[in-house]
Amino acid sequence: MQNFISLLKQSISQETLIYISFGNVRNKSTLYRKVTIRPVLLRNQLSYQATYHFEKKVTHKNFKQEDCISFCIELLKDSFKQCNLFCEDADYQILAAKVDKLKIIKSSPSKRKEDIQLSHNQEKQYIIPDGEPCDFLIHLGVMTKEGRVIQRHYNKFRQINRFLEIVSDVIDYLPDRAKIIDFGCGKAYLTFALYYYLNFKLKKDVTIIGLDLKEDIIDFCNKIASQLHYDRLVFQMGDIAEYQETAKADMVVTLHACDTATDFALIKAVCWEASVILSVPCCQHELFSQIHNDINFPILKQGILKERFSAILTDSLRALKLTEHGYDVSMIEFTSLEHTAKNIMIRAVSDVNRKNQQTAAMKQAAEEFKTLCSFWNVNPTISKLC
Ligand SMILES: C[S@@+](CC[C@H](N)C(=O)[O-])C[C@H]1O[C@@H](n2cnc3c(N)ncnc32)[C@H](O)[C@@H]1O
């Protein structure tokens, strides 16, 4: 039994476990014939799902990592005489006719991790699929050379694919030859993803500039871009607010750029008449110290509510300002709330044909913006966009 336990511990801790199957029931009165176990992501935690195979139905039970081992030991002791353990490095057949005399037979691996669904329910069809080597993901350490997503980077992998899904929804607003700016690109996983998707998957002719305050990040990203031969992807050091480039960008991306950095990015985007803006604001602190309204004092006196409300008001005012400037604006969920609370994206698209028309919606947005600012006694940075 000790060898079996060691095998389980090792395959679970090293995340090489693909699938476990228990069969050959010890006792004919056992109602289920087989139990299988596979890793699943539950609320983003690597967990294990046992499936009980009854005569005419299957049922499921989920386990935390630490409980999976004791569950397997119990199954082998009490219910089954055989277990097959499929790992990335090998298959193991455990014969347990006598519990105190286990026989373990090792053979070459027969299953691949990408063949097993990791998600709790249906596996998603990702734009960049798990199992298909993708150069920038390999370079950034998210995938192995063989194209397998490394478990601990699965969140990042899903965020990248979610971002590309959002981009695919607005693709009709972008010209085939487009210039994009990613303000506050950070380590640029999403910038690389954007370049890869538009230039290689969709065969567009897209130039991207990533801008960030941090020199080391910019050097790192330029090095990777050059190693990957992403020749039209350039990273520059600078502050969004002081960015001087006057040439028009067709799309502006700004994901998690803090506080008013988002406003400066939106202002630039509108001035360039960018057709697409994708912005995930964060750390909306600006209005916290300004917001004041006597009627709502009972809410605002609670710091945490005031903070959350300030963030919502900030983003609502941003959305109104973009609408006033002719954009169709929607607030969408970027990643699921269980990953991060910073998950609201402002998606704004502008139809070139409607650009110079003053619509009723634009007028109404302008009115609403003024009313809200006066009601809450605020003057946000986005007001600079007159
Ligand atoms: C939380 S990271 C997000 C990185 C990336 N956009 C993402 O979502 O994965 C925010 C980045 O924005 C950069 N940043 C914040 N304010 C900025 C500003 N005013 N100008 C340029 N970059 C800024 C920071 O240096 C940091 O790298």
pLDDT of residue 30: 85
Residues 103, 157 within the same domain: no
Range of the domain at 74: 2-115
Residue 121 has pLDDT above 50, yes or no: no
Q: Please check whether residue 335 lies inside any domain of the structure.
A: yes
Q: Please check whether residue 124 lies inside any domain of the structure.
A: no
Residues 191, 300 within the same domain: yes
Of 127, 245, 130, 241, residue with least CA distance to 194:
127
- What's the mean pLDDT in 306-327? 95
What is 54-84 written as a DSSP string? ESS-EEEEEE-HHHHHHHHHHIIIIIEEEEE
Q: Please check whether residue 66 lies inside any domain of the structure.
A: yes
Number of domains in the chain: 2
Residues 56, 84 within the same domain: yes
Q: Please check whether residue 333 lies inside any domain of the structure.
A: yes
Of 252, 282, 208, residue with least CA distance to 349:
252
Residues 109, 142 within the same domain: no
Of 379, 328, 361, residue with least CA distance to 172:
328
- What's the mean pLDDT in 298-324? 94
pLDDT of residue 336: 55
Ligand 1 shell residues, CB under 6 Å? 184-186, 189-190, 211-214, 217, 239-241, 255-258, 261
DSSP code at position 196:
I
Tokens standing for residue 206: 């897209």
pLDDT digits (tens, 9 = 90+) for 196-234: 999 999 999 999 999 999 999 999 999 999 999 999 999
Question: Which of 209, 213, 218, 345 to mutate for ligand 1's pocket (most ligand atoms within 8 Å of CB)?
Answer: 213
Give the Å distances, CA to CA, from 33 to 47, 93, 314, 363: 23, 18, 58, 68
Residues 207, 170 within the same domain: yes
pLDDT digits (tens, 9 = 90+) for 65-80: 888 999 999 999 999 9
Q: Please check whether residue 123 lies inside any domain of the structure.
A: no
Residue 14: pLDDT band with limits 50, 70, 90: confident
217 Cα to the center of ligand 1, angstroms: 10
Residues 312, 221 within the same domain: yes
Residues 111, 151 within the same domain: no
Residues 188, 261 within the same domain: yes
Q: What is the CATH number of the domain that holds 249?
A: 3.40.50.150
Q: Whose CA is nearest to atom 25 of ligand 1?
A: 213
pLDDT averaged over the chain?
89
332 Cα to the center of ligand 1, angstroms: 20
Other Cβ atoms less than 10 A from the Cβ of 71: the count is: 17
Residue 122 has pLDDT above 50, yes or no: no
Task: Indicate the pairing of strand 233-237 with strand 205-212.
Answer: parallel
Residues 83, 28 within the same domain: yes
Question: Which pTM does this prediction carry?
Answer: 0.71
What is the separation, in whole angstroms, between the first and last Cα of the chain? Answer: 74
pLDDT digits (tens, 9 = 90+) for 30-53: 888 899 998 887 766 788 889 888
Residues 147, 85 within the same domain: no
- What's the mean pLDDT in 292-301? 91
